Structure 1
Amino acid sequence: MAFLDSIRERAVSTLNQVLDRKPNRGLSPQEVFCREYNLPNGEVILHDTLAEVSIVSDNSKIGYKDLGPIAQGKVYITEHFLVFRDNYDRLNCSFTLHLSAVKKVERSQTSNYDFTLTITTHSKLNIVLSLVGLRNNSERFGQVLKITLKKNLANIKKLQPFIQTCYSEYLLAKNHVSNEKIEHMPNGGLGLVFKFPGNPREQRDKSKMKLWFDLFRADGRNLSLIKTPMFYKLIRVGLPNRLRGEIWELCCGSMYLRLDNQDEYHLILEANKNKKSLAVDEIEKDLNRSLPEYAAYQSVEGISRLRNVLTAYSWKNPEIGYCQAMNIVVAALLIYMSEEQAFWLLNLLVDRIVPGYYSKTMYGTLLDQKVFESLVQSCMPLLWDHITKNDIQLSVVSLPWFLSLYLSSMPLVFAFRILDVFFLQGPKTLFQVALAILKINGEALLQSEDDGSFISIIKTYFHELDQSAHPTSPNPKYKSITKFQELLVTAFKEFSNITEDTIENHRYKHRDGIFQNISTFVRRTELRNLPKTNNIDSDTLSIIYDRFYSIVQADVTVGTGSNFMDFKSFRQFMAETCDWVQPNINNDKRQDVFLNHLFAQWDSEGQRLITLADLVVGLNKLIDPDLMTSMSNFFQLYDYKNSGKLDRECILQVSEDLLNITNPWKDGILLDQITETAIENAVADEVYKAQASNKEEDKGEGEDEDDKHVTTTSTTTNNHIKLPSEVNIDKEKFAALQSQRYLQAASTFIQRAFEYAQPEEEEILIKDLAIDNTIAHNAALNPNSPVFLNLPTFRMVILADETYELFFSHTLRNSIHLDKPLDSKFDTMRNLKGMFDGLLADGIKVANKVRQRMDSAASSALNPIANSDASSSRSAKSRIQEDEEEERDDDLGVISIDEDILMSQETQGVDGGHSENGKPPPPTSKTTTSSSAGSASNLIEFDLL
Structure 2
Amino acid sequence: MAFFDSIRERAINTINQVLDKKENDGLTKAQLFCREYNLPDDETVLDESAVEVGIKSDHNKDAYKNMAYPQGRIFLTQHFLIFRDAFDKRNCSFTIQLSTIKKVERLPTSSYGFALSISTHSKVYITLYLVGIRSDSEKFSYNLKLALKNNLRNVQKLQPFIQSCYSEYLLAKNKISAEKVEEMPDGGLGIIFKFPGNARELKDKSKMKLWFDLFRGEGRNLSLIKTPMFYKLIRVGLPNRLRGEIWELCCGSMYLRADQPDIYSKLLEENKDKKSFAIEEIEKDLNRSLPEYAAYQNPEGIERLRRVLTAYSWKNPEVGYCQAMNIVVAALLIYMSEEQAFWCLNVLCDRLVPGYYSKTMYGTLLDQRVFESLVQNTMPLLWDHISKNDIQLSVVSLPWFLSLYLSSMPLVFAFRILDVFFLQGAKTLFQVALAILKLNGEELLKTEDDGTFISILKNYFQTLDQSAHPDSPNLKYRSITKFQELLVTAFKEFSVVDQEMIAKHRAKHRGTILQNITSFVKRTELRNLPKSTNIDQDVLGKIYDRFYSIVQTQNVTIGSGSSTMDFVAFKKFMAQICDWVELEHDDRETQGEDFLQRLFTHWDSEGKGNLKLSDLVFGLNKLVDSDLMTSMSNFFELYDVDNKGRIDREGILKISEDLLYITTPWKDGVLLDSITQTAIENDIADIVYKRQQDQGSNSAKDEIDLPTEVDLDKQKLENQQIERYLSAASTFIQRAFEYAQPEDEEVLIKELAIDNKISHNAALNPNTPVFVNLPTFRMVILADETYELLFSKTLRHSIHLDKPLDSDFSTIRNLRDMFDGMFADGRDIAKRVRRRMDSAATTLNNNSVGSDNASLKSSKSKAQEAEEEERDDDFGVIDIDQNDKDLILGAEAQVLTDPVNNSPAGQKELRRFHNAESKIKSDQDADSSHVEQNLIEFET
TM-score by length of 1: 0.81
1:220 is matched with 219
CA deviation after TM superposition for structure 1 residue 146, in Å = 3.4
CA deviation after TM superposition for structure 1 residue 772, in Å = 7.4
Cα distance in structure 2, aligned partners of 1:778 and 1:569:
46
Amino acid at match of 1:35: R
> Comparing 817-826 with 125-134, which one deviates more in the overlay?
125-134
Amino acid at match of 2:816: K
Is 1:780 the counterpart of 2:763? The answer is yes
Q: 2:582 touches 2:591 (CA, 8 Å); kept in 1?
A: no
Is 1:827 the counterpart of 2:826? The answer is no
Q: 1:125 touches 1:219 (CA, 8 Å); kept in 2?
A: yes
Cα distance in structure 1, aligned partners of 2:172 and 2:86:
35
Is 1:607 the counterpart of 2:608? The answer is yes
2:887 is matched with none
Amino acid at match of 2:785: E
2:790 is matched with 807
Is 1:468 the counterpart of 2:467? The answer is yes
Evaluate the alpha carbon distance shift between residue 68 and residue 860 of structure 1 in structure 2; reply closer, same or farther with a 3 A threshold.
closer
Q: Deviations over 1:242-273 (max 9, x none)?
A: 21111111111111122222312223333333
Cα distance in structure 2, aligned partners of 1:736 and 1:23:
55
1:444 is matched with 443
Q: Deviations over 1:5-64 (max 9, x none)?
A: xxxxxxxxxxxxxxxxx9954544333332222222243334434433332111336499
Amino acid at match of 1:582: E
Q: 1:54 touches 1:68 (CA, 8 Å); kept in 2?
A: no
Is 1:306 the counterpart of 2:305? The answer is yes
CA deviation after TM superposition for structure 1 residue 441, in Å = 1.7
Cα distance in structure 2, aligned partners of 1:311 and 1:472:
51
CA deviation after TM superposition for structure 1 residue 219, in Å = 0.7
Q: Deviations over 1:441-469 (max 9, x none)?
A: 22222222111111111112222222333
Q: 1:53 touches 1:69 (CA, 8 Å); kept in 2?
A: no
CA deviation after TM superposition for structure 1 residue 186, in Å = 2.5
1:927 is matched with none
Cα distance in structure 1, aligned partners of 2:755 and 2:767:
17
CA deviation after TM superposition for structure 1 residue 419, in Å = 0.7
- Output aligned runs, 1:28-67, within 5 Å: 28-60=28-60, 62=62
> Comparing 234-243 with 649-658, which one deviates more in the overlay?
649-658
- Output aligned runs, 1:355-366, within 5 Å: 355-366=354-365
- Output aligned runs, 1:32-181, within 5 Å: 32-60=32-60, 62=62, 68-109=67-108, 113-133=112-132, 135=134, 137-181=136-180
The secondary structure found in structure 2 opposite 1:292 is coil
1:254 is matched with 253
Cα distance in structure 2, aligned partners of 1:790 and 1:770:
26
Cα distance in structure 2, aligned partners of 1:583 and 1:805:
27
Cα distance in structure 2, aligned partners of 1:772 and 1:94:
104
> Comparing 660-669 with 630-639, which one deviates more in the overlay?
630-639
Cα distance in structure 1, aligned partners of 2:238 and 2:870:
87
The secondary structure found in structure 2 opposite 1:104 is strand
Evaluate the alpha carbon distance shift between residue 211 and residue 619 of structure 1 in structure 2; reply closer, same or farther with a 3 A threshold.
same
CA deviation after TM superposition for structure 1 residue 394, in Å = 0.6
CA deviation after TM superposition for structure 1 residue 727, in Å = 4.2
CA deviation after TM superposition for structure 1 residue 388, in Å = 0.9
Cα distance in structure 2, aligned partners of 1:112 and 1:885:
91
Cα distance in structure 2, aligned partners of 1:797 and 1:135:
86
Computed over aligned residues only, the root mean square deviation of the Cα atoms, in angstroms, reads 3.7
Cα distance in structure 1, aligned partners of 2:471 and 2:67:
49
1:619 is matched with 620
Q: 2:165 touches 2:185 (CA, 8 Å); kept in 1?
A: yes
- Output aligned runs, 1:699-714, within 5 Å: none
Q: Percent of pairs identical after alignment?
A: 69
Cα distance in structure 2, aligned partners of 1:156 and 1:512:
46
Evaluate the alpha carbon distance shift between residue 431 and residue 670 of structure 1 in structure 2; reply closer, same or farther with a 3 A threshold.
same
CA deviation after TM superposition for structure 1 residue 147, in Å = 3.8
Q: 1:356 touches 1:558 (CA, 8 Å); kept in 2?
A: yes
The secondary structure found in structure 1 opposite 2:125 is strand
Amino acid at match of 2:605: S
Cα distance in structure 2, aligned partners of 1:883 and 1:648:
47
CA deviation after TM superposition for structure 1 residue 547, in Å = 0.9
Unaligned runs of 5+ in 2: 1-21, 848-857, 859-865, 877-940
Q: 1:54 touches 1:67 (CA, 8 Å); kept in 2?
A: no
Unaligned runs of 5+ in 1: 1-21, 696-713, 865-869, 871-877, 889-945
Q: 2:747 touches 2:762 (CA, 8 Å); kept in 1?
A: no
Q: Deviations over 1:363-413 (max 9, x none)?
A: 111111111111112222221111111111010011111111111112222
Q: Deviations over 1:580-639 (max 9, x none)?
A: 222245745663333333333333333332222332232222222222332233233334
Amino acid at match of 1:678: A
1:551 is matched with 550
Cα distance in structure 2, aligned partners of 1:629 and 1:805:
12
The secondary structure found in structure 1 opposite 2:495 is coil
2:580 is matched with 580
> Comparing 137-146 with 457-466, which one deviates more in the overlay?
137-146
Cα distance in structure 1, aligned partners of 2:759 and 2:187:
81
Cα distance in structure 1, aligned partners of 2:188 and 2:639:
56
- Output aligned runs, 1:667-816, within 5 Å: 667-686=668-687, 719=702, 726-757=709-740, 777-781=760-764, 789-816=772-799
Cα distance in structure 2, aligned partners of 1:883 and 1:380:
64
1:386 is matched with 385
Cα distance in structure 1, aligned partners of 2:431 and 2:716:
80
TM-score by length of 2: 0.81
Cα distance in structure 1, aligned partners of 2:706 and 2:391:
75
Is 1:289 the counterpart of 2:288? The answer is yes
1:941 is matched with none
Is 1:515 the counterpart of 2:522? The answer is no
Cα distance in structure 2, aligned partners of 1:885 and 1:43:
62
Cα distance in structure 2, aligned partners of 1:528 and 1:726:
50
The secondary structure found in structure 2 opposite 1:155 is helix
Cα distance in structure 2, aligned partners of 1:231 and 1:89:
14
Cα distance in structure 2, aligned partners of 1:473 and 1:157:
60
Evaluate the alpha carbon distance shift between residue 754 and residue 115 of structure 1 in structure 2; reply closer, same or farther with a 3 A threshold.
closer
Q: 2:195 touches 2:240 (CA, 8 Å); kept in 1?
A: yes
Q: 1:23 touches 1:505 (CA, 8 Å); kept in 2?
A: no
CA deviation after TM superposition for structure 1 residue 643, in Å = 4.7
2:596 is matched with 595
Q: 2:751 touches 2:762 (CA, 8 Å); kept in 1?
A: no
Cα distance in structure 2, aligned partners of 1:887 and 1:492:
66
Evaluate the alpha carbon distance shift between residue 883 and residue 284 of structure 1 in structure 2; reply closer, same or farther with a 3 A threshold.
closer
CA deviation after TM superposition for structure 1 residue 693, in Å = 7.4
Evaluate the alpha carbon distance shift between residue 328 and residue 474 of structure 1 in structure 2; reply closer, same or farther with a 3 A threshold.
same
Q: 1:666 touches 1:735 (CA, 8 Å); kept in 2?
A: no
Q: 1:222 touches 1:250 (CA, 8 Å); kept in 2?
A: yes
Cα distance in structure 2, aligned partners of 1:204 and 1:861:
115
The secondary structure found in structure 2 opposite 1:188 is coil
Q: 2:582 touches 2:590 (CA, 8 Å); kept in 1?
A: no
Q: Deviations over 1:58-110 (max 9, x none)?
A: 1336499x565453333333332222222333222211122221111223358
1:497 is matched with 496
> Comparing 849-858 with 237-246, which one deviates more in the overlay?
849-858
Amino acid at match of 2:31: E
Evaluate the alpha carbon distance shift between residue 297 and residue 758 of structure 1 in structure 2; reply closer, same or farther with a 3 A threshold.
farther
The secondary structure found in structure 2 opposite 1:309 is helix
Aligned length: 836
Evaluate the alpha carbon distance shift between residue 476 and residue 725 of structure 1 in structure 2; reply closer, same or farther with a 3 A threshold.
closer
Amino acid at match of 2:808: K
Q: Deviations over 1:887-940 (max 9, x none)?
A: 99xxxxxxxxxxxxxxxxxxxxxxxxxxxxxxxxxxxxxxxxxxxxxxxxxxxx
Q: 1:844 touches 1:887 (CA, 8 Å); kept in 2?
A: no
1:629 is matched with 630
Amino acid at match of 2:383: W
CA deviation after TM superposition for structure 1 residue 225, in Å = 0.7
2:801 is matched with 818
Q: 1:647 touches 1:786 (CA, 8 Å); kept in 2?
A: yes
The secondary structure found in structure 1 opposite 2:469 is coil
